[in-house]
Structure 1
Amino acid sequence: MKGWRPSPPLLLLLPAVIVLAAVVVLPLLLSLYSSFTPFRLTKPETLWVFIGARNYVNLLTNGDFWIAFARTVVLLTVALNLEMLIGLGLALLVEKASRGQRILRTIMMFPMMFSPILVGFQFKFMFNDNIGLVNNALQALGLTDRAIPWLIDGNLAFIAILTAEIWSSTSVFAILILAGLLAMPREPVEAARVDGCTPWQTFRYVTWPFIMPFAFIAMTIRSLDVARAYDIVKIMTDGGPAGRTELVWTLVARTAYSDARMGLANAMAYFSILLSILFTVYFYRKLAAARTQIAAEW
């Protein structure tokens, strides 16, 4: 190393690299190492006991983890499909608007500006048994004569969480699909109309193939968000009642901090990250196929 001098760009980047290594890389390496130990927060000395892949093997027979994982997959599947359908409808309506389109686009982005914690508190209040807006509205309209226990019943609590997720993130699909609609050339649509295609046929065979990549981009972004959903669930139900709304990351947090089993919690986290990567690869393949289809048809 004698006589070697780092270049000016390297010297300028060095502070940022050091900070990233200190706050990102080192904690990740430490958490990865601890997933191969029986580390408990109440017993710091267990951090230095190496047990190999025992935590990961135990996950294969951990019923609570797989139930939480299945519930996360259900939430992800239902939320993504509903968000895409509602976002597609909003995008089509805004694209048809002849006036105030910029104002409508701004309004569509409002839910994205709220913190998930704030959204959780907002919907927890709305679905409250006694003073919640939803129960008061249903009773005022005569649709029910008693308060519905939205956050106490397991199935209803899951619906309440799903509603909060859809409200806060449908705008991601709406904005990206609207961008695709605004970028689409008008000539193929006009040609389809001249050829006598119905509005549904025009959308199905002309519009949708073009905007499909934009929908898959939104789906990839949202799949990662839903797969690591924590804030809204933590605020609204904290995984209850009786674990009926427990998702993967709320289970990870409970295992790490309530049960103090940090080693097992980190193993759950890395296993979940691996599954999220597999979902991302799947969506990227769908996106590549959609792009290939557009290149062939357009």
Structure 2
Amino acid sequence: MWFTLASTALETAIGLAMALILCESFSGRGLVRAAMLVPWAMPTVVTSKMFAWLFDGEHGIVNFVLSHAGLTDHNVNWYGSPDTAMATIIIADVWKTTPFMALLLLAGLQTVPKSLTEAARMDGAKSWTIFWYIRLPLLMPTLLIAGLFRALDAFRIFDLVYVLTGGGPADSTETLSTLSYKVLFSTLQFGYGSAVSTAMFITEGLIALGFCICLVRQIRRVG
């Protein structure tokens, strides 16, 4: 649940900022939009290995940059310590999946009538006022749908965690997907593993139900 909440919130916030930038007209916008999708298009296993090298406790470039910037006086064992392993996975997931959120929100922003924003500018409204009172209310249904997709995907995450940490250290990054895999195929406890999988399915159903209730209320309010 902590991973789902943190990754979904960060990806939504950063993705919204990226969508707002890419919605504006500037030179090379098409190239930037295409380049934005590269992290999302990369296989998750490749992303996991890349971040394993970046955050390596001995020779990782992150420790190199931090030590030369004077921010740390020793190497940090990022995904080998229970204190930092979850944060490392969240950073990797945010880097990979934020473009997906930005793409969905960009599509939603492009449905906002330009006449509304132009009229607001003519009346002297600032950019923040236009965003808060015009763009954001009209974007809320798209925001909820994107959040629903991302939350469900984050809750059942397996490959990134399995490749990067394997659920460790000390089960600090264990998810229901990795737990059910270990129980089913490592310890061969088929009953327990099936129960974990069923609990994960029911929880995802409850998450989807919560988002759908909020979505219906928002659509009725806008309508």
TM (norm. structure 2) is 0.95
Distance 1:289 1:133 in 2: 47
Amino acid at match of 1:186: K
Which structure has the larger Rg?
1
Aligned to 1:84: 12
**Contact kept? 1:209, 1:293, Cα under 8 Å:** no
1:117-136 alignment, distance < 5 Å:
117-136=45-64
**Structure 2 stretches lacking a partner, 5+ long:** none
- 4+ aligned runs moved over 3 Å, structure 1: none
1:87-106 alignment, distance < 5 Å:
87-106=15-34
Amino acid at match of 1:89: A
Aligned to 2:70: 142
Q: Residue by residue, what CA displacement relative to the aligned partner does 1:112-142 show, whole Å, maximum 9, x if unpaired?
A: 1111111111111111011111111112222
Q: Residue by residue, what CA displacement relative to the aligned partner does 1:206-258 show, whole Å, maximum 9, x if unpaired?
A: 00011111111211111111111111111111111111111111111111122
Deviation at 1:157, TM superposition (A): 0.5
Amino acid at match of 1:187: S
Q: 1:189 aligns with which of 90, 110, 117?
A: 117
Aligned to 1:257: 185
Distance 1:292 1:171 in 2: 29
SS of the equivalent of 1:154 reads: coil
The answer to whether 1:268 aligns with 2:196 is yes
**Contact kept? 1:87, 1:170, Cα under 8 Å:** yes
Aligned to 1:50: none
Distance 1:276 1:266 in 2: 15
1:152-171 alignment, distance < 5 Å:
152-171=80-99
Aligned to 1:21: none
The answer to whether 1:227 aligns with 2:155 is yes
Distance 2:192 2:208 in 1: 24
Deviation at 1:184, TM superposition (A): 1.4
Deviation at 1:155, TM superposition (A): 2.1
Distance 2:43 2:219 in 1: 33
Distance 2:190 2:40 in 1: 32
Aligned residues: percent identity? 31
The answer to whether 1:174 aligns with 2:174 is no
**Contact kept? 1:233, 1:239, Cα under 8 Å:** yes
Aligned CA RMSD, in angstroms, stands at 1.3
Deviation at 1:146, TM superposition (A): 1.3
Q: Residue by residue, what CA displacement relative to the aligned partner does 1:37-85 show, whole Å, maximum 9, x if unpaired?
A: xxxxxxxxxxxxxxxxxxxxxxxxxxxxxxxxxxxx1111111111011
The answer to whether 1:201 aligns with 2:129 is yes
Q: 1:240 aligns with which of 151, 168, 176?
A: 168
Distance 2:5 2:166 in 1: 21
Distance 2:76 2:222 in 1: 48
Amino acid at match of 2:173: T
Aligned to 1:116: 44
**Structure 1 stretches lacking a partner, 5+ long:** 1-72
